[in-house]
Structure 1
Amino acid sequence: MISCEFVQYQEKTCSLMLTTQRKKTILEWLARDGQVLAGALAVSFGVSEDTIRRDLRELAAEGLLQRVHGGALPASSAVAAFSERRTLESSGKRAIGIAASSMIASGQIVIIDGGTTSAELVKHIPHSLSATVVTHSPTVAVALVDHPSIEVIMIGGRLYKHSIVNVGAAAIEAMSHIHADIYFMGVTGVHPTAGLSTGDLEEAYVKRALAARSAETVVLASMEKLNSASAYAIGDLTLAQTIVVEGLNDPVLTAALETAKVSIVRA
């Protein structure tokens, strides 16, 4: 005779297998479509929306997706500490940095964000260039010390160590006195519907404030940031006029961005 305990064990094991398979399928559909909706998933799997929401919560806790109202988006993988990201060589980020640096004209006032892609931009600014660089990144400021014709204006505030940038009310107040020609923005997520996002609330405020003080905003977006989202919205895609991406990117990743009437530059 089969015991009740054995039957319960079998049912529990089966349930775990179904949950695991369902989560795997959710991630596959998310990678394919760029977003998933809880209601549609519930219908597809024949389970309640509460069950799907639990799946999404657990996947989000593992950093595998970003929950939004009604469903989920791919999570940005650009969340490691700055020191870790800096040690990772990326020909794509280097190409983006070179392309972005060529957009700076002599005599301009330029805002440069923090982050590893911005660090690549700074590496390729010609030493002969005469310009003013405004930055809330100590890393960027120090990297420009040996550029004799570049005046560096440093924005202070609380140091956000993940990206090594200054944030907070003091930083935003200082920005209100600036009128820049171009702002090179770093992000952790660029998504057709979720827009531009980052992993810290105060950093999102600062980025939005910097964009408001510049005639043109250029987003630097390496491959892992495309079609993904982070917890804090900076703004819609239209906050930027240009997005610089890696030249080898799959055109599918940028097609939706182009329909938003944002100029795409392939580095």
Structure 2
Amino acid sequence: MRGTERRARLLEALELGEIDVDDLARRFGVSASTVRRDLQHLSGTKAVRRTYGGAILAGGPPETTLDQRLAIDGPQKQAIARAALALVSDGETLILDAGSTVTAFGRLLLGRRLRIITNNLALLPCLARAPGIDLVVLGGSLRATSMGTVGPLAIEALQRMTADRTVTSADGVVAGRGLCEASLDQVALKSAMMAQSQETIVLANAGKLGRAEQMAWAPLPRRWTLVTDPAASQDQRQRLAEAGARIVMAGA
């Protein structure tokens, strides 16, 4: 396990409460000194506070960076991205949100003929010179953790355009509540994206289903599509289907 992924999983473990260094070392199959170095790194970013023999989260659940998110559950995210490709036809206009799974999806669009509207700056090097891609970039304030723009400028630009589909993700997807994120700026933009599209496609691995750890929410439309992986429980799938989701299983 690479250091970036290990530190992201350390944060997930710490969300459940204080854990000591030896427990973390056993869990991740590394030495205690490696865990101490990881915790020291996270302490330097103000994500955790060191305690005697361990660590606790410094505040509320911290946001991981885009690089950290890309390192977690990579095969599942790639499978979800590939499954979502079948939902898109050439000639369509897509709105692509920021986020690691949407970034994985966007990188698979090379060779397609599409108009793409996006706030996802991580996709620009890939799509900017792609033949067949007509690219529109939303301005606004930069959220460095996700490499996406947000704010009034992005929303105002979106309100002047419409799209066939919005492709988005979230920190959590909860039946009856919608998409969970860390900031109101994020959910305001997601809501605008969904309002300007005929269809909403949510890309979320099984670990995000039912998660409600952040403070901001974007309600979903009455009918929407969820692309997830086979680890999603039958109970979660049933709840989301009852909340209006058409569920597509990656690899099915």
TM-score by length of 2: 0.72
Residue 102 (str. 1) matches residue 86 (str. 2): yes
Higher helix fraction (1 or 2): 1
In the TM superposition, 1:67-216 aligns within 5 A as: 79-127=63-111, 129-216=112-199
Question: Residue 250 and residue 110 in structure 1: after superposition, are their counterparts in 2 closer, same or farther (change >3 A)?
Answer: same
Residue 244 (str. 1) matches residue 227 (str. 2): yes
RMSD of equivalent CA atoms? 2.3
Residue 218 (str. 1) matches residue 210 (str. 2): no
Question: Residue 251 and residue 109 in structure 1: after superposition, are their counterparts in 2 closer, same or farther (change >3 A)?
Answer: same
Offset of residue 189 of structure 1? 1.0
Q: How many angstroms apart in 1 are the aligned matches of 2:122 and 2:85?
A: 17
**Residues 117 and 186 in structure 1, CA contact (< 8 A), matched pair in contact too:** yes
Offset of residue 172 of structure 1? 0.6
Please point out which of 226, 242, 246 is paired with 1:259: 242
Q: How many angstroms apart in 1 are the aligned matches of 2:200 and 2:80?
A: 15
Q: Identity percentage over the alignment? A: 28
Question: Residue 249 and residue 155 in structure 1: after superposition, are their counterparts in 2 closer, same or farther (change >3 A)?
Answer: same
Q: How many angstroms apart in 1 are the aligned matches of 2:60 and 2:135?
A: 40
Q: Deviation string for 1:138-159 (max 9, x for gaps)?
A: 1122221342111110010100
Offset of residue 86 of structure 1? 2.0
Question: Residue 179 and residue 173 in structure 1: after superposition, are their counterparts in 2 closer, same or farther (change >3 A)?
Answer: same
Offset of residue 60 of structure 1? 11
TM-score by length of 1: 0.68
Gaps of 5+ in 1: 1-22, 25-57, 64-76
- Equivalent residue for 1:234? 218
Question: Residue 110 and residue 203 in structure 1: after superposition, are their counterparts in 2 closer, same or farther (change >3 A)?
Answer: same
**Residues 217 and 239 in structure 1, CA contact (< 8 A), matched pair in contact too:** no
Kindly report structure 1 stretches of 4+ aligned residues shifted beyond 4 Å.
58-62
Amino acid at match of 2:127: L
In the TM superposition, 1:10-89 aligns within 5 A as: 63=61, 79-89=63-73
Amino acid at match of 1:83: D
Q: How many angstroms apart in 2 are the aligned matches of 1:161 and 1:59?
A: 21
Q: Deviation string for 1:33-86 (max 9, x for gaps)?
A: xxxxxxxxxxxxxxxxxxxxxxxxx999564xxxxxxxxxxxxx9x31112112
Gaps of 5+ in 2: 1-15, 18-55
Indicate the SS of the match to 1:264. Answer: strand
Q: How many angstroms apart in 2 are the aligned matches of 1:59 and 1:264?
A: 34
**Residues 101 and 122 in structure 1, CA contact (< 8 A), matched pair in contact too:** no
* Length, aligned pairs only: 196
Q: How many angstroms apart in 1 are the aligned matches of 2:139 and 2:226?
A: 27
Q: How many angstroms apart in 1 are the aligned matches of 2:130 and 2:227?
A: 24
Q: Larger C-alpha radius of gyration, 1 or 2?
A: 1
Indicate the SS of the match to 1:181. Answer: strand
**Residues 203 and 228 in structure 2, CA contact (< 8 A), matched pair in contact too:** yes
